[in-house]
């Protein structure tokens, strides 16, 4: 109930209602738009479609992702979204990975795979650890790579 009124008549009406019923306002409970059967069918379809929310919604034509996720939380006891935890890599390992990238002992993809990260993360580490980031280590037609001694000096 909105207690800020723009009309004295409304305030008087609320007061009379309160005096008569001793209830300031009636609690409002919203009825569900979908039946329990629809919820169960949706969750079953979700499980059949490989636990993929968007695929299930496309197949059924309803509900939204948030609603389906809430139904899964409600009806499936062990339901939880898959969350991938981050791996812990020491600063020393980051420097080793960047050094491997700069000296090109292998492809960036292979180096990233070795450390369990993505290529993007590997290049971000390089940009953060080396002064000037990518400009100093990427070879172009006119530039040369930094010598290994300079790379080691930058990483220390």
Per-residue confidence (pLDDT) for residue 11, from 0 to 100: 82
- What separation in angstroms does the CA of 102 have from each of 74, 98, 120? 51, 6, 14
Residues of the chain with pLDDT under 50: 137-143
Q: Indicate yes or no: pTM above 0.85.
A: no
Q: Which of 72, 68, 40 is nearest to 56 (CA)?
A: 68
- The pLDDT tens digits of the residues spanning 102-145 come to 888 778 899 988 888 889 998 998 998 887 755 554 444 444 55
């Amino acid at each position: 109930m909105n207690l800020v009124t723009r009309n004295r008549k409304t305030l008087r009406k609320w007061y009379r209602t309160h005096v008569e019923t001793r209830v300031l306002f009636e609690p409002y409970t919203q009825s569900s738009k979908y039946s329990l059967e629809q919820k169960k069918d949706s969750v079953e379809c979700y499980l059949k479609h490989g636990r993929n929310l968007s695929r299930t919604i496309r197949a059924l034509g309803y509900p939204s992702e948030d609603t389906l996720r809430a139904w899964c939380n409600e009806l499936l006891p062990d339901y939880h979204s898959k969350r991938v935890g981050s791996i812990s890599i020491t600063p020393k390992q980051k420097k080793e990975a960047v050094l491997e990238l700069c000296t090109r002992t292998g492809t960036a993809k292979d180096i990233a795979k070795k450390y369990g990260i993505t290529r993007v993360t590997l290049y971000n580490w390089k940009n953060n650890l080396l002064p000037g980031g990518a400009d100093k280590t990427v070879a172009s037609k006119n530039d040369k790579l930094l010598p290994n001694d300079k790379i080691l000096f930058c990483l220390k």
